[in-house]
């Protein structure tokens, strides 16, 4: 890889600025201090004091902002709960969150960069979150990814001239779930001191029952279907977590601020289960399985940030970030057979990941232009060691793959963006981002090298329509990419536990019990997206948005199942691998509403209403119809909610509901999936005491009953149908909050 060719032409803009400071006439003020006179530039924040809706109006690309005040008022405990209430965020039939009904194509960032390995952004406790930004199109500052938009989570930092401590205690109970949680945050700052401190701690433990039943049918031509497998699973999953974060901020001078933001995450998932299965030939498997799995994870983040303000119109930010991640997964599986001896299968995976990032960003205001440029370099190393035992002896079927995997991931990126307010009614945002990426994987007999360069131009236009009511028309056009994950490139398989191997080797499996593995030759997706939105503002905090969107995706990444000759078996086996399937097209329409009732009816109750409806259609060129749609995208989805403050009482009531219809999705020529209707209702009551304490009572109810999925598999000589049912159970949560 020739790094010299990577376009770092975006750097000179701020190097010239630093080299010729006299080119800008900065206004300075003098601050009298006993015994000395300091020259200090004021720190100007143009968004200070704005509401979320006012901030949204200012962004040309239609960026939605959920600020700290809205986060606290929402009653949510983590990011996922918060986003489920946001009208712009859609919920798929399997519960995944995204934009425009495309969760797999929505990138989620933390502070503008990808989350460290092992850290799930949507599971973050809101104690660690300052605000959230949502953009349905692509912005150069967020990189060349995010075909269906970006959700950017801004972490909490130390605030000057503010001293406050918050505490929350909570408990969850229900037919299938129980647990407790705790969060604490503090911010310390004194007038006249160059130092500010902040710290956040969150912890919790949660236990959930995992019960399900399964039924597999085998179809052969016109014959009556044969029951291949009937089974049930009973078990539980326990999740324990501890997250620590903080900021030490130092104003090193009138133009310099240094921030150190260490973070530690410890996370452990423990599973225990009992599986019972009855089989009919020719497929056979274990009749009773006892499983026990533990997966402790530790992530350490050490970010250092330097902010330099040469003058009032410009800012330079240098970030240095070091991340370390360690995961151990220990799986024990005792299998009992009717016609063979019992087997004990044990697998242990120990993984370590370390990454270093350097990121340099420069912003400058020149007249009506807000210019942003930046560049970053990321170098990540990961290593994993694998141990596979069958009845205490090394599993010969997987020895051929080796016991170690090493990977290196190098990224070099740059962007330039100009947000130009042409006049009071017209604004333009244009940008270009690019990334050069090289991935090398070494795992025994497999050696993978993946190199690609992506360029993503983007453009946005905002036009304020004439009239007494504020109305915006926004147009966005962008080219984006979706890069394959590391696990999608690795050749190491996961053997289907219902078609296991023995010391004598691996036998054949059927398409319904395929192994899974990566695809070393997988290429990135390329997408072109168009968004056209009409925003109608009513008062200060109400808006109605109608948006049309379209996407064309080339080299679509999906999953294909084929019968292959594989290194871990002397006989061919079915393997499910990611694959580039061809071209997909998606288009849709969404209507979103956020209303403060008193802005429409002054004498009305203190009530906030919000909701959305999204319609979407998609097709994949290489997949036969009908129902050849993008995975996880429903034909429509809807949500509705509201909150009401009871007059004369310190009581706030709220309710949020969402609906997704049932339907089939045919993702490949060999598989299609049916998901039952999903309907959920969450109600909450918040009582605020005179002392400032708040008690929150939350009830989650599934309106649609038990969840059912049906998988159909198509082979040359036989088809299979797997039906799985998972019971739904309600849960109740209580939280007590206080500000000290």
Domain ranges of the chain: 3-739
| Beta-carbon-side half-sphere exposure of residue 278 (alpha carbons within 13 Å) | 5
Pull the structure tokens for residue 351: 């993984």
State the pLDDT at residue 266: 96
DSSP 502: B
Residue 10 clears pLDDT 70, i.e. is over it: no
What is the pLDDT at residue 27?
34
Q: What share of the chain is helix, strand, coil (3-state, %, to 5)?
A: 10, 60, 30
Is 70 exceeded by the pLDDT of residue 44? no
Which pLDDT belongs to residue 49? 55
Is residue 414 within 8 A of residue 453, CB to CB? The reply is: no
Q: What Rg, from alpha-carbon coordinates, does the chain have?
A: 27
Span between the terminal Cα atoms of the chain, in Å: 55
Q: Using CA atoms, how far apart are residues 611 and 193, in angstroms rounded to an integer?
A: 45
pLDDT > 60? residue 560:
yes
Per-residue pLDDT, 729: 85
**pLDDT tens figures, 494-526:** 999 999 888 777 888 999 999 999 998 899 999
Looking at residue 705, its pLDDT comes to 85
- The lowest-confidence range among 17-26, 81-90, 475-484, 577-586 is 17-26
User: Which pLDDT score, from 0 to 100, does residue 13 have?
Assistant: 38
Chain mean position to CA 685: 28
Supply the DSSP string of 170-202, one letter for each residue: EEEEESSEEEEEEEEEEEEE-TT-SEEEEEEEE
* 470-487 mean pLDDT: 92
pTM over 0.75: yes
Predicted pLDDT of residue 506: 85
Q: Which ranges of 554-649 does DSSP label H, i.e. alpha helix?
A: 597-600
d(CA 484, CA 466): 45
The residue whose two tokens read 């984006």 is: 480
- Residue 541 CA to residue 606 CA, distance in Å, equals 13
Q: CA-to-CA distance for 638 and 732, rounded, in angstroms? A: 24
Q: What is the pLDDT at residue 600?
A: 86
What confidence score (pLDDT) does residue 282 get? 77
Give the confidence band of 618 by pLDDT, cuts at 50, 70, 90.
Answer: very high
| Superfamily holding 3-739 | TonB-dependent receptor, beta-barrel domain (2.40.170.20)
Whole-number pLDDT of residue 4: 36
Q: Is the pLDDT of residue 42 over 50?
A: no
Cβ(20)–Cβ(12) under 8 Å? no
Which tens digit of pLDDT belongs to each residue from 398-411?
777 788 999 999 99
Mean pLDDT of 144-155: 93
pLDDT at 22 over 90: no
Helix runs in 579-628, H state only? 597-600
Where residue 174 falls among pLDDT bands split at 50, 70, 90? confident
pLDDT range class, residue 124, cuts 50, 70, 90: very high
What is the predicted pLDDT for the residue at 1? 36
Indicate if the pLDDT at residue 20 is higher than 60: no
The mean pLDDT value of the chain amounts to 88
Q: What angle do CA 247, 411, 365 make, to 5 degrees?
A: 60
Closest CA to 498 of 337, 666, 732, 678: 337
**Which of 47-56, 616-625, 635-644 shows the lowest mean pLDDT across its residues?**
47-56
> Taking 60 as the threshold, does the pLDDT of residue 127 lie above it?
yes
- Tokens for 19? 């080299």
pLDDT at 222: 67
694-735 pLDDT, tens digit per residue, is: 999 999 999 888 999 999 999 887 899 999 999 988 999 999
- How confident is the model over 541-565, as a mean pLDDT? 94
Q: Is the pLDDT of residue 434 over 90?
A: yes
pLDDT, position 677: 93
For residues 445 and 457, the model is more confident at 457
Q: What is the DSSP letter of 355?
A: E
Residue 81 CA, distance from chain mean position: 13
- Give yes or no for residue 50 having a pLDDT over 90: no
**Distance (Å, rounded) from C-alpha 637 to C-alpha 639?**
7
- At residue 2, the pLDDT reads 36
What local confidence, expressed as pLDDT, does residue 41 receive?
A: 37
């Amino acid at each position: 890889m020739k790094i010299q060719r990577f376009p770092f032409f975006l750097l000179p803009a701020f190097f010239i600025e630093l080299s010729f400071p006299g080119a800008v006439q900065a206004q300075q003020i003098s601050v009298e201090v006993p015994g000395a006179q300091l020259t200090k530039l004021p720190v100007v924040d143009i968004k200070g004091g704005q509401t979320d809706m006012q901030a949204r109006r200012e962004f040309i690309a239609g960026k939605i902002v959920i600020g700290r005040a809205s986060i606290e008022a929402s009653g949510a405990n983590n990011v996922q709960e918060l986003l489920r209430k946001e009208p712009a965020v859609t919920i798929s039939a399997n519960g995944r969150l995204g934009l425009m009904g495309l969760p797999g194509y929505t990138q989620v960032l933390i502070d503008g960069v990808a989350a460290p390995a092992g850290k799930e952004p949507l599971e973050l406790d809101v104690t660690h979150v300052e605000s959230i930004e949502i953009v349905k199109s692509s912005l150069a500052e967020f990189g060349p990814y995010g075909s269906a938009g970006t959700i950017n989570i801004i972490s909490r930092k130390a605030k000057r001239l503010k001293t406050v401590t918050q505490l929350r205690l909570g408990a969850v109970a229900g037919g299938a779930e129980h647990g407790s949680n705790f969060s604490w945050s503090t911010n310390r700052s004194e007038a006249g001191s160059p130092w500010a401190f902040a710290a956040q701690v969150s912890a919790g433990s949660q236990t959930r029952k995992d019960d399900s039943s399964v039924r597999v049918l085998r179809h052969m031509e016109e014959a009556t279907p044969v029951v291949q497998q009937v089974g049930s699973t009973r078990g539980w999953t326990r999740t324990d977590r501890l997250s620590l974060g903080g900021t030490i901020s130092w104003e090193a001078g009138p133009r310099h601020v240094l921030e150190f933001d260490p973070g530690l995450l410890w996370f452990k998932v423990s599973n225990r289960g009992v599986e019972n299965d009855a089989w009919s030939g020719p497929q056979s498997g274990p009749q009773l399985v006892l499983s026990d799995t533990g997966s402790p994870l530790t992530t350490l983040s050490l970010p250092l940030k330097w902010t330099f303000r040469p003058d009032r119109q410009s800012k330079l930010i240098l970030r240095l970030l070091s991340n370390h991640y360690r995961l151990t997964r220990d799986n024990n599986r005792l299998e009992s057979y009717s016609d063979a001896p019992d087997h004990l299968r044990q697998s242990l995976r120990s993984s370590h990941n370390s990454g270093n990032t350097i990121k340099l960003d420069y912003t400058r205001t020149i007249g009506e232009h807000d210019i942003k440029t930046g560049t970053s370099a990321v170098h990540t190393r990961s290593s994993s060691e694998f141990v596979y035992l069958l009845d205490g002896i090394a599993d010969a079927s997987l020895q051929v793959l080796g016991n170690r995997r090493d990977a290196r991931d190098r990224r070099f990126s740059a962007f330039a963006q100009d947000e130009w307010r042409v006049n009071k009614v017209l604004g333009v945002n244009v940008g270009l981002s690019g990334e050069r990426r090289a991935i090398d994987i070494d795992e025994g007999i497999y050696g993978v090298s993946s190199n690609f360069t992506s360029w993503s131009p983007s453009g946005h236009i905002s036009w304020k329509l004439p009239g007494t009511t504020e109305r915006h028309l926004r147009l966005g056009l962008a080219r984006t990419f979706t890069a394959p994950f590391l696990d999608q490139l690795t050749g190491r398989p996961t053997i289907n536990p219902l078609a296991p191997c023995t010391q004598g080797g691996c036998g054949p499996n059927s398409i319904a019990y395929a192994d899974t593995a990566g695809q070393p030759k997988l290429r990135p997706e390329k997408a072109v997206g168009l968004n056209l939105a009409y925003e109608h503002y009513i008062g200060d905090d109400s808006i109605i948005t109608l948006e049309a969107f379209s996407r064309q995706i080339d080299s679509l990444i999906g999953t294909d199942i084929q019968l292959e000759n594989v290194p871990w078996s002397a006989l061919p086996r079915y393997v499910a691998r990611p694959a580039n399937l061809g071209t997909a097209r998606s288009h849709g329409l969404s209507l979103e509403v956020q209303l403060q009732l008193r802005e429409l009816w002054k004498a009305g109750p203190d009530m906030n209403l919000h909701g959305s409806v999204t319609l979407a259609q998609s097709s994949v060129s290489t997949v036969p119809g009908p129902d050849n749609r993008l995975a996880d995208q429903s034909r429509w989805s809807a949500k509705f909610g509201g909150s009401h403050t009871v007059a004369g009482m310190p009581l706030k009531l709220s309710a949020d509901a969402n609906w997704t219809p049932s339907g089939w999705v045919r993702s490949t020529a060999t598989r299609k999936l049916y998901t039952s209707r999903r309907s959920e209702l969450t109600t909450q009551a918040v009582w605020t005491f005179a002392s400032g304490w708040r008690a929150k009572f939350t009830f989650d109810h599934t309106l649609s009953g038990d969840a059912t999925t049906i998988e159909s598999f198509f082979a040359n000589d036989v088809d299979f149908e797997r039906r799985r049912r998972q019971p739904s159970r309600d849960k109740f949560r209580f939280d007590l909050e206080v500000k000290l």
